[in-house]
């Protein structure tokens, strides 16, 4: 029986102790007494077990020779199992084991490199702290009848720790209504301690003055809320919560007074699309950034009744056109550059061609399920209560397929002729087509065609 140290393994001896270490794996083990003695007999060349045991027996003639031999063989077998050396009957077997070990090392390095690349791509984690909400917005993707659940502080803390290890910078806490999670203060404090860019999506109606003062003590990057109309009655009708408009607006003004950044989202619906310009002007008067959102999707359980409130494409085009006419700072003004030299319209956030769900961001719902995004919760990747986020982010075959999706994988994408204006949403596609996220609806194609016609008109 012979043996040889593995590549990168070194033995370090001192007067009364010893260490064996592999510089590639960074594994190391420390020894004293007999362990040091055994290591002192090992060199970098091929070693013979019988030769070394005979030397040890001569050093201790009073000891049982069979016991010395057994102890040394057990010792080197342990070192082999830990990857420090290779045992074999002859040089041929040693070479075969070396080649196999090198192959495993190369594969591990490839996996490590792949994981590192994927981890570097994860920019944003959305965490649904609870699916409970004190509003019942008519267009919401969460089913009106659902079993309530929340994430505990311990679960979120573990997730945030893992996010730090994965070098994630951006965290968004959402719901439901995140302020209904009883542990939210502790969660915010811990997330702030870890120096995340913290974003919160909230209707603001559960915040009181004392909670607002607490928010000034933690590092909040931005709070996003929804205003559906300047008309309180219409806003409250959409939220199904009397007095919600007043509570949200009052809290907005208090947050502004305390220098907490706020962003407003406007969901474009049949009920309120004519009020958009008024809301935009109101937001501008208070220096609140506003985002126009007409990407309403069906409920996550497959129900589509909420889509009855969706604007038709002509109503969307009218809104965009009015927005451009009223607001010279609107991002939609990039449509005016269409067909002009150096046009950057394809880079506009409203005309981008691919979805980031599962590519650079991930969603954790209030049951711990990992999904590509908030609206695609029927597609479960895994669960943070059972496995780590890293395992799922780096190892999921579902996410691998999503990331490998190219534009020409979408049916009729290039043949339609106005593909530059199609806003692809995997979740919307999946919800409308029984899980098929690569099928773009005729409605989306029609909207893209109408946006292109508007762009041609504006850029003349």
DSSP string, 85-154: EEEESSHHHHHHHHHHHHHHHHHHHHHHHHHHHHHHH--EEEEE-BS--S---TT-SS-SS----B--HH
Which is nearest to 46 in space by CA: 14, 89, 8? 89
Token representation of residue 347 = 């880079």
Cα–Cα distance measured from residue 249 to residue 20, given in angstroms and rounded to the nearest whole number:
66
Block residue for tokens 């006419």? 325
Write down the pLDDT at residue 168.
93
What is the Cα–Cα distance from 182 to 4, expressed in whole angstroms?
Answer: 59
Rounded to the nearest 5 percent, the helix, strand and coil shares of the chain are 45, 15, 40
Neighbour order of strands in the sheet with 47-48: 47-48, 2-5, 85-88
Mean pLDDT by 10 residues, the chain (460 residues): 89 87 81 86 87 90 88 91 90 89 68 61 95 96 92 97 93 97 97 95 96 93 97 98 98 96 96 96 94 89 92 94 82 68 43 71 97 94 94 91 82 66 86 88 88 84
Angle subtended at Cα 28 by Cα 25 and Cα 29, rounded to the nearest 5 degrees: 155
Both ends of the chain: CA-CA distance in Å?
86
CA torsion, ordered 113, 115, 120, 126, to nearest 10 deg? 180
**pLDDT attached to residue 216:** 94
C-alpha distances in Å from residue 242, one per residue of 55, 136, 181, 283: 90, 11, 22, 22
- Residues 430, 302: contact at Cβ < 8 Å? no
The pLDDT value given to residue 187: 97
Q: How far apart are CA 112 and CA 117, in angstroms?
A: 9
pLDDT at residue 348, as a whole number: 40
Residue 291's φ and ψ, nearest 5 degrees, are -120, 125
């Amino acid at each position: 029986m012979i043996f040889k140290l593995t590549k990168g393994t070194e033995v370090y001896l001192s007067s009364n102790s010893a260490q064996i270490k592999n510089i590639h794996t960074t594994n190391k083990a420390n020894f004293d007494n007999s362990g040091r003695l055994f290591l002192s007999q090992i060199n970098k060349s091929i070693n013979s077990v019988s030769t070394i045991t005979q030397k040890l027996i001569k050093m201790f003639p009073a000891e049982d020779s069979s016991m010395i031999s057994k102890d040394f063989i057990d010792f080197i077998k342990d070192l082999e199992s830990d990857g420090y050396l290779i045992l074999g009957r002859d040089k041929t077997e040693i070479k075969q084991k070396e080649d196999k070990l090198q192959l495993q090392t190369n594969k591990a390095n490839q996996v490590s490199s792949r994981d590192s690349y994927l981890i570097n791509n994860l920019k944003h984690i959305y965490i649904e702290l609870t699916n409970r909400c004190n509003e019942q917005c008519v267009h919401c993707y969460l089913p009106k009848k659902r079993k309530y659940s929340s994430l505990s502080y311990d679960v979120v803390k573990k997730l945030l720790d893992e996010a730090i290890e994965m070098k994630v910078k951006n965290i968004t806490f959402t719901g439901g209504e995140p302020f209904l999670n009883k542990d939210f203060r502790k969660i915010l404090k811990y997330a702030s301690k870890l120096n995340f860019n913290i974003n919160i999506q909230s209707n603001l109606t559960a915040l009181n003055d004392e909670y607002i003062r607490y928010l000034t003590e933690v590092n909040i990057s931005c709070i996003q809320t929804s205003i559906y109309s300047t008309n309180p009655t219409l806003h409250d009708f959409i939220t199904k919560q009397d007095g919600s408009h007043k509570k949200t607006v009052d809290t907005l003004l208090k947050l502004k007074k305390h220098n907490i950044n706020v962003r407003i989202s406007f969901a474009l619906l049949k009920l309120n699309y004519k009020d958009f310009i008024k809301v935009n002007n109101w937001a501008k008067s208070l220096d609140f950034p506003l985002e126009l959102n007409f990407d309403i999707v069906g409920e996550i359980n497959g129900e589509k009744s909420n889509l009855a409130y969706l604007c038709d494409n002509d109503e969307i085009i009218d809104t965009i056109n009015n927005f451009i006419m009223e607001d010279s700072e609107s991002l939609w003004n990039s449509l005016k550059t269409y067909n002009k030299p150096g046009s950057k319209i394809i880079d506009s956030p409203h005309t981008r061609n691919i979805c980031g769900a599962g590519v650079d961001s991930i969603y954790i719902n209030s049951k711990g399920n990992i999904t590509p995004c908030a609206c695609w919760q029927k597609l479960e990747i895994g669960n943070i209560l059972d496995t780590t986020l890293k395992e799922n982010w780096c190892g999921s075959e579902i996410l691998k397929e999503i990331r490998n999706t190219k534009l020409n994988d979408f049916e009729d994408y290039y043949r339609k002729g106005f593909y530059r204006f199609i806003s692809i949403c995997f979740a919307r596609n999946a919800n409308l087509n029984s899980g098929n996220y690569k099928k773009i609806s005729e409605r989306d194609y029609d909207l893209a065609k109408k946006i292109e016609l508007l762009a041609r008109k504006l850029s003349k």
